[in-house]
Chains A and B, each alone.
Chain A
Amino acid sequence: MNNVQSLIDGFASALTLTNLGFGLLGTFLGTLVGVLPGIGPALAIALLLPITYTVSPASALIMFAAIYYGAMYGGSTTSILLNTPGESGSVITALEGNKMARRGRAGAALATAAIGSFVAGTIATLILAFTAPTIADLAIQVGSADYVALMLVAFTTVSSLLGASQIRGFIALSLGLALGLVGADLQSGLSRLTFGSDAALEGIETVPVIVSIFALGEALYIASRLKNRGWNVIPMKGKALMSRQDWKRSWKPWIRGTFLGFPLGVVPAGGSEVPTFLSYSIEKKLSKHKEEFGEGAIEGVAGPEAANNANAAGALVPLLALGLPTSATAAVILVAFQTYQIQPGPTLFLTNGALIWTLIASLFIGNALLLILNLPLVRVWVQLLKIPRPYLFAGIVTFALMGAYALNTSIFDVQVAIAIGILGFLFRRFGMPITPLILGLILGPNLELQFRRALQISAGDYSTLWASPLSKILYLVLFIAIFTPIMTRIMRKVRKDAVAK
């Protein structure tokens, strides 16, 4: 098959010394940010965006993808040994894995998490390699109006399924859209929301916003609201190894987790929460050791970890094939593509085929590197948690400010960064999710462009927006996505009232 040949070529170019070096650097940095609390993959990639000026697209994207995968591995280490899930996808790992660690089975928990992530990552990347081009082929026929519908669906699912409060998700999204409006309108040159500032005419840069909403917002929030002296790391005995029994109990959950996580990553279903929870409840049902669940069952680590990793790989499908990011990290990777004037989407495999196949091949290599990096070296990573908290956050904040400034050497970007930092604090304080804001900022201008393009073709006739069969289906999905959470809440309330009576 043609794809196989392309993939082999991809391997050839991913295995050059430079690209391999950047891949290794990426896996290293990814694990680092995954292990350290307070920094996530989105922030790490955003901070490294200035280097895109000096590095070739292939090398930079390989590094970013490696960070994306690596953070997942590092995150599970922290969840198991510290009981502090860094992201929603590792909540379950923390639940069951930390119990295992407390019972002196940290080694087995870490091993099943790492090997499970490897298995899931490899299978999922394989599926990605063969589905993404097909989806891209189909997507070429998708018109502007369909894109509008598609983006609206992505906005809605991300806003309403992430976080506890649907309305707060939508507010975060609208704020992101409003930020995306700032600057001169591309088609008419009309300046919007600039309030006479020349610097604002070029629009608000995405990088300072992402960097500061995570780094500065977190720093302000933690300094004022959370007090703690050090972390309580569970000491690890022995090596990160699994017994024959552990293998026997782990391999099926790995496979099931993979096939659960991947499709839910492809459809924008609101991140890694859903697949990991689903995987956990399935494993609990199927397990012969039900009594161990809640006390540290290895299946409860193996399944969700695999689902989490497969989910991350699945999220790359809409990103590459449609140019639609469904998570904060994917959104930052989209920005990285755009700084190289490459627009992910249906035509990506035609225009930049070699680059994308190199990237996909590097995902396989990165996964293997991560397994090697994580299992024997897990003790080294744990040492990182001994960095004193003040130094850690001081480092993050200065890096963030530097990143905001260095991208355009502009003082306006630093002003934006600080303002957004305060906004980030308010978001954290009042329980607003951040991902919808970032998606709104990045995709908002794109949505407007497609919206206007569609209406220009139809000479201002709005009915063109829902004329095609695909857009009709998408609006139906949109409708369901908005009203399902509301309906379930009403149902729950009715049931509760009935019970109370």
Chain B
Amino acid sequence: MGSLFLLGFIVFWDTYIVELPAINLTISPKVFPYAVSALLMGLSLILAISILRGDTALPEGHEAGTPVGKSDFKSFGIVLASLMAFLLLIENAGFIIAASITFFGITVAFDNKKHGRAAIFGTIFITVIYLSFTRFLNVQLPAGIFKGLL
């Protein structure tokens, strides 16, 4: 909750320090950000109070599994690492490599045991997606190291 308050303060501070442009405006572009920052800080305080009074957050039910008591940060980490891999590889290595690695990483995080099969299936799937989006829908995706090959 502290982070929420901090965010509100950041919005306030950022708005406070910037200098106004010389144009004469009836309504300053700062009014709205001030309101948002006040809202954020105020609400975070109310939330903090209600949590202290015992109103803890309850995640809503979900359809895809049974909840576990304690977060599994290993799986969380694998998913996050897969996302990061995509971010780092997309422009250098190209879409096919980046997305295939992400795909494989997610299957690992979701307790898939047959790793070889997932890797092969994922790569084929991603290649098909790449070809159909670039050829038929004209959506541009980086070719990376396969430039000129596909």
Q: Which residues of A does B touch, CB under 8 Å?
A: 37-38, 50-51, 53-54, 78, 82, 84-86, 163-165, 167-168, 170-171, 174-175, 177-178, 181, 185, 187-193, 195, 216, 219-229, 388-391, 393-395, 397-399, 401-402, 405-406, 409, 411, 414-415, 418, 421-422, 425, 428-432, 444, 448, 451-452, 455-456, 459-460
Contact = CB atoms under 8 A, between A and B. Distances in A.
A417 to B, nearest CB: 8
Contacts of B2: none
Contacts, number: 228
B63 A390 contact: no
B23 A54 contact: no
Interface in B47-91: 47, 50, 55, 57-60, 62-68, 71-73, 75-76, 78-80, 82-84, 86-87, 90-91
16 contacts: A85-B63, A163-B60, A167-B43, A171-B40, A188-B29, A193-B10, A195-B14, A223-B75, A223-B109, A226-B66, A394-B118, A394-B122, A397-B79, A401-B86, A406-B133, A455-B26
Contacts of A164: 58, 60
B61 to A, nearest CB: 9
Contact of A431 (B57, B68, B90, B118): B57
Given A187-B25, A401-B99, A222 B83 contact: no
Given A219-B106, A431-B60, A397 B83 contact: yes
A195 B75 CA distance: 32
Contacts of B112: 388, 390-391
Given A185-B29, A192-B18, A219 B79 contact: yes
Given A390-B118, A406-B133, A224 B43 contact: no
Nearest to A186: B29
B89 to A, nearest CB: 11
B20 A190 contact: yes
B25 A393 contact: no
Contacts of A191: 18
Given A178-B11, A225-B59, 16 more contacts: A53-B139, A164-B58, A171-B47, A181-B33, A188-B21, A223-B106, A224-B71, A224-B73, A397-B106, A398-B106, A401-B86, A402-B133, A418-B84, A430-B59, A452-B32, A460-B26
B39 A177 contact: yes
Contact of B72 (A38, A86, A223): A223
Interface in B92-139: 95, 99, 102-112, 118, 121-122, 125-126, 129, 133, 137-139
Interface string B7-30: 110110011001011010111010
B51 to A, nearest CB: 10
Interface of B: 4, 7-8, 10-11, 14-15, 18, 20-21, 23, 25-27, 29, 31-33, 36-37, 39-40, 43-44, 46-47, 50, 55, 57-60, 62-68, 71-73, 75-76, 78-80, 82-84, 86-87, 90-91, 95, 99, 102-112, 118, 121-122, 125-126, 129, 133, 137-142
Contacts of A195: 14
Given A178-B7, A181-B11, A428 B63 contact: no
Contact of A178 (B26, B36, B62, B76): B36
B107 A54 contact: no
Given A394-B104, A406-B140, A414 B87 contact: yes
Nearest to B84: A418
Q: For the complex, would chain B's binding face be called helix, strand, loop or mixed by DSSP majority?
A: helix
A227 to B, nearest CB: 5
Contact of A181 (B36, B63, B76, B110): B36
A424 B4 CA distance: 14
Given A38-B64, A391-B107, A418-B84, A451 B32 contact: yes
Q: Which of B43, B108, B140 neighbours the largest number of chain A CB atoms within 10 Å of its CB? A: B43
A26 B25 CA distance: 46
Contacts of B29: 185, 187-188, 190, 192
A421 B83 contact: yes
Contacts of B86: 398, 401, 414
B32 A181 contact: yes
Contacts of B39: 170, 174, 177
B52 to A, nearest CB: 13
